[in-house]
């Protein structure tokens, strides 16, 4: 890969993805390993990070001895290779790109790490990794840069608002993690089964959860989630569809929470795992919002930040 211009790393808690870019930002090659920052091939004190990097793309680094390396994600956390201090939001991606943290490896080579974002104040919030996806989204959808909301569903869903090229604010929702905790570690787990069942019944249960969310008569989230049990007990929803009901309910409350906090008129862009994003597209449509799905936001974000940082010509 003689014409390689950048090695981009998406280095999270449970996985590591490497992208090799050419000078036009095209991805020449892509690799994935399980060496997330919590599953390194050796302890961090024993060069776990450079070893993981060597394992996944030592050949690329050897062939291109001056190849710049840019990494985003939990690799920049306190538990990562080197802490990249949070960058304050509202954030201008161009300034963010001037605030990379450097860590040395091999014979004088550097990895540049993208900082996470922080919202300060009475309702502080943080993200790490998603900032790069958002910068990618701003390039993928030119309209998104001007005035839009980016939604990143996941364990911790993030909703970010963009205004005239600036990431103006964002909010985290623990939707995915709360779903896991409720469906595995509470009484709700008892009636939820993994049996197969009609997709139409599952879809109905998902929609029922969505529609209850935010209604005053539901008594709020802490009460509404108990319906996962009582709709099962009263046989209104079969066991195989109760997880869908709970999922719809929680995603519905996430959307309800955003509606109270953010303006509603912005265009919505979704980034993330295909199946989960499809669930959000459906939920948003039921709630009356149109949304557009963006792909490859992480890799494009790495490329854009590298350009703005001057790592590539």
Residue 123 as a binder of its own copies (CB under 8 A): the answer is yes
- Which tokens hold the place of 174? 């623990």
Residue 85 as a binder of its own copies (CB under 8 A): the answer is no
**What is the rounded distance in angstroms from the CA atom of residue 94 to the CA atom of residue 4?**
23
Nearer to its own copies, 220 or 310 (CB): 220
Residue from 291, 17, 302, 15 nearest 131 by CA: 302
**What is the rounded distance in angstroms from the CA atom of residue 309 to the CA atom of residue 313?**
10
Residue 98 as a binder of its own copies (CB under 8 A): the answer is no
Q: Which stretch binds its own copies (CB under 8 A): 28-36, 47-55, 68-76, 258-266?
A: 258-266
Closest CB 287 distance from its own copies, rounded Å: 14
Closest CB 297 distance from its own copies, rounded Å: 22
Residues 154-183, mask of contacts with its own copies (x by CB under 8 A)? --x--------------xxxxx-xx--xx-
DSSP 129: S
Q: At what angle do helices 199-212 and 242-261 cross, to 10 degrees?
A: 30
Residue 187 as a binder of its own copies (CB under 8 A): the answer is yes
Residue from 96, 83, 90 nearest 135 by CA: 96
CB-based contact 86:92 (threshold 8 Å): no
Radius of gyration of the chain (CA): 21
Residue 124 as a binder of its own copies (CB under 8 A): the answer is yes
Residue 201 as a binder of its own copies (CB under 8 A): the answer is no
Beta-carbon neighbour count of residue 72 at 10 Å?
Answer: 29
Closest CB 288 distance from its own copies, rounded Å: 18
Nearer to its own copies, 122 or 196 (CB): 122
| Interface residue with its own copies, options 65, 194, 234, 290 (CB under 8 A) | 234
**What is the rounded distance in angstroms from the CA atom of residue 294 to the CA atom of residue 7?**
22
Beta-carbon neighbour count of residue 286 at 10 Å?
Answer: 16
- Distant-in-sequence, close-in-space partners of 239: CB < 8 Å, separation ≥ 6: 191, 192, 193, 195, 232
Residue 266 as a binder of its own copies (CB under 8 A): the answer is no
Nearer to its own copies, 3 or 79 (CB): 79
| Interface residue with its own copies, options 230, 278, 285, 295 (CB under 8 A) | 230
Closest CB 292 distance from its own copies, rounded Å: 23
Closest CB 86 distance from its own copies, rounded Å: 9
Closest CB 90 distance from its own copies, rounded Å: 17
Closest CB 207 distance from its own copies, rounded Å: 13
- List alpha helices for the chain, DSSP H: 48-63, 93-96, 130-140, 142-146, 175-185, 199-212, 221-224, 227-233, 242-261, 274-286, 297-309
Nearer to its own copies, 104 or 233 (CB): 233
Q: Is 111 helix (H, G, I), strand (E, B) or coil?
A: strand
CB-based contact 297:136 (threshold 8 Å): yes
Nearer to its own copies, 56 or 188 (CB): 188
Residue 264 as a binder of its own copies (CB under 8 A): the answer is no
Residues that bind its own copies (CB under 8 A): 118, 120, 123-126, 156, 171-175, 177-178, 181-182, 184-187, 212, 216-223, 225-227, 229-231, 233-234, 236, 250, 253-254, 256-258, 260-261
């Amino acid at each position: 890969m003689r014409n390689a211009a950048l090695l981009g790393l998406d280095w999270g808690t449970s996985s590591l993805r490497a992208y090799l870019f050419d000078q036009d930002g095209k991805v020449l090659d892509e690799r994935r390993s399980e060496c997330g920052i919590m599953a390194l091939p050796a302890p961090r004190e024993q060069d776990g990070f450079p070893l993981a990097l060597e394992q996944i793309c030592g050949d690329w680094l050897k062939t291109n001895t001056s190849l710049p390396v840019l990494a985003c994600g939990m690799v920049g956390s306190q538990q990562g290779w080197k802490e990249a201090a949070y960058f304050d939001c509202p954030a201008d991606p161009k300034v963010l790109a001037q605030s990379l943290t450097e860590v040395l490896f091999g014979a004088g080579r550097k990895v540049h790490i993208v900082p996470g974002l922080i919202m300060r104040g009475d309702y502080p919030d943080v993200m790490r990794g998603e900032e790069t996806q958002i910068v990618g989204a701003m390039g993928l959808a030119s309209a998104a840069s001007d005035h839009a909301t980016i939604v990143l569903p996941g364990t911790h869903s993030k909703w970010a608002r963009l205004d005239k090229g600036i990431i103006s604010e964002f909010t985290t929702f623990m939707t995915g993690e709360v779903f896991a905790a409720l469906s595995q570690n509470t009484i709700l787990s008892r009636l939820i089964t993994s049996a197969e069942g009609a997709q139409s019944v599952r879809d109905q249960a998902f929609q029922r959860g969505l529609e209850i969310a935010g209604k005053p008569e539901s008594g709020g989230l802490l009460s509404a989630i108990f319906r996962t049990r009582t709709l099962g007990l009263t046989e209104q929803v079969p066991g195989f569809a109760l997880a869908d009901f709970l999922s719809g309910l929680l995603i519905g409350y996430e959307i309800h929470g955003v509606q109270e906090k953010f303006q509603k008129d912005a265009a919505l862009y979704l980034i993330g795992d295909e199946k989960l994003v499809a669930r959000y597209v459906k939920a948003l449509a039921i709630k009356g919002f149109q949304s557009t799905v963006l792909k490859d936001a992480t890799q494009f974000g790495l490329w854009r930040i590298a350009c703005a940082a001057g790592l590539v010509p």
